[in-house]
């Protein structure tokens, strides 16, 4: 009797596993456990006619097998039910138009490319306030209240609070960051800036910059050059060259104007690069000792370089946008190209 029961269990389990529809499963259920002619039901019914010893052994095993089989059937039933629900669809249902998902703004895209690049060089990304105090935007950067450099960066002031203004550059974060985290420190600071500009194809009243700096015990101009070259080649390809020419910024000494090989004519000279073969994309230099002092650092102990990229300009070059104002006006027709 024991062999008959084990053989039944093997066959029944295999039959359950082989079913692919709920109808097939019900047929297996009836064949083994059906109330009238189920194979196991019949065996259980005949247990009473066995000897006392056989009744004890076969009876308890037959009941165990019944429970095992019921469990296997229930599990299979659940699985087949799920599968049949998954594949049920209404072929008469009307097709809905595909939802529009939008894309990341080109300035966000370029900012993320740069953040990844700088993270690889060990720079941390920081952000700071757009409504800034005059001190961090100008004075801490060695631009006194009557300094002519202020004329180049006129901005929007807060009525009755002339010491508060919309920041004109992300350089406003330099002293804030160094005061907060100390040196050595390498950081980039992307963000929105504002200037009181007469807007044209290259100038907006609201635009994006990314400042960066590295301050440590022996940071030199060579490191600045290396970082800027690696950055330009990462963005515009390995043949890109960087040209640095002297430029005055009150917060760096020496200061430079950084240009890269024109991405449109590859250095041959065209209308966009005014036939020079180069396009201006950043300002940079060695951090002025007065700025280090404002950051509570000793210029005898620490030196550093700083650079400021026009993120808006970089995005225009990378994606071939000819008018800066297109980037601010939120036109879906324009933005969905990116």
Of residues 139 and 280, the one with the C-beta less far from ligand FA5:
280
* Least distance to ligand FA5, CB of residue 91, Å: 54
* Least distance to ligand FA5, CB of residue 242, Å: 14
Q: What one-character-per-residue DSSP string does 75-93 give? A: HHHHHHHHHHHHT---TTS
Residues lying near ligand FA5 in the complex (CB under 6 A): 169, 171, 195, 197, 203-204, 207, 209, 211, 249, 252, 255, 280, 283-285, 306-308, 310, 312-313, 324
Q: What is the CA radius of gyration of the chain?
A: 37
Q: Among all residues, whose Cβ is closest to ligand FA5?
A: 310
SS3 for 191? strand
CA 273-282-262 angle, 5° bins:
25
Q: Are 192 and 207 in contact (CB under 8 A)?
A: yes
Of residues 124 and 328, the one with the C-beta less far from ligand FA5:
328
DSSP element (H, E) containing 165: strand 161-166
Which residues are CB-contacts of 43 (< 8 A; sequence separation ≥ 6)?
4, 5, 8, 58, 62
The CA-based dihedral angle spanning residues 295, 167, 258, 264, taken in that order and rounded to the nearest 10 degrees: 150
Q: Are 174 and 139 in contact (CB under 8 A)?
A: no
* Least distance to ligand FA5, CB of residue 169, Å: 3
At 81, give phi and psi (nearest 5°). -65, -45
Of residues 232 and 306, the one with the C-beta less far from ligand FA5:
306
* Least distance to ligand FA5, CB of residue 196, Å: 9
CA–CA separation, 226 and 121 (whole Å): 11
Of residues 28 and 321, the one with the C-beta less far from ligand FA5:
321
Phi-psi category of residue 274: left, alpha or beta, with phi > 0 → left and psi -120 to 50 → alpha: left
Of residues 38 and 212, the one with the C-beta less far from ligand FA5:
212
* Least distance to ligand FA5, CB of residue 211, Å: 5
* Least distance to ligand FA5, CB of residue 332, Å: 22
Of residues 65 and 284, the one with the C-beta less far from ligand FA5:
284
Of residues 96 and 222, the one with the C-beta less far from ligand FA5:
222
* Least distance to ligand FA5, CB of residue 127, Å: 16
Q: Among the residues of the chain, which ranges form H helices?
A: 2-18, 22-33, 39-46, 52-86, 106-120, 134-137, 149-152, 173-181, 221-236, 289-294, 311-319, 332-335
* Least distance to ligand FA5, CB of residue 238, Å: 23
């Amino acid at each position: 009797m024991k062999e008959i029961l084990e053989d039944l269990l093997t066959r029944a389990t295999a039959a359950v596993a082989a079913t692919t529809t709920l109808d097939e499963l019900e047929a297996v259920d009836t064949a083994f456990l059906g109330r009238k002619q189920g194979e196991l039901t019949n065996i259980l019914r005949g247990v009473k006619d066995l000897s006392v010893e056989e009744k004890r052994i076969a009876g308890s095993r037959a009941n165990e097998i019944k429970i095992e089989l019921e469990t296997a059937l229930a599990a299979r039933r659940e699985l087949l039910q799920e599968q049949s629900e998954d594949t049920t669809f209404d072929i008469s249902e009307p097709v809905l138009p595909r939802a529009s998902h939008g894309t990341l703004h080109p300035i966000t895209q370029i900012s993320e490319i740069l953040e990844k690049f700088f993270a690889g060089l060990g720079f941390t990304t920081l952000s700071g306030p757009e409504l800034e105090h005059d001190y961090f935007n100008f004075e801490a950067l060695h631009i006194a209240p009557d300094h002519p450099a202020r004329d180049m960066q006129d901005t929007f002031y807060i009525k009755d609070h002339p010491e508060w203004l919309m920041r004109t550059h992300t350089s406003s974060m330099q002293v804030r960051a160094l005061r907060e985290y100390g040196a050595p420190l390498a950081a980039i600071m992307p963000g929105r800036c504002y200037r009181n500009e007469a807007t044209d194809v290259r100038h907006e009243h609201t635009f994006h910059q990314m400042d960066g700096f590295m301050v440590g015990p022996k940071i030199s101009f060579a490191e600045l050059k290396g970082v800027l070259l690696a950055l330009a080649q990462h963005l515009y390809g390995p043949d890109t060259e960087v040209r640095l020419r002297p430029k005055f910024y009150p917060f760096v000494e020496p200061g430079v104007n950084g240009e890269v090989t024109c991405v449109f004519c590859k250095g041959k000279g065209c209308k966009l690069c005014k036939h020079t073969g180069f396009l201006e994309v950043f300002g940079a230099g060695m951090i002025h000792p007065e700025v280090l002092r404002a950051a509570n650092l000793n210029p005898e102990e620490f030196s550093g370089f700083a650079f400021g990229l026009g993120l808006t300009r970089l995005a225009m070059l990378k994606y071939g946008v000819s008018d800066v104002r297109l980037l601010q006006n939120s036109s879906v027709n324009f933005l969905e190209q990116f």
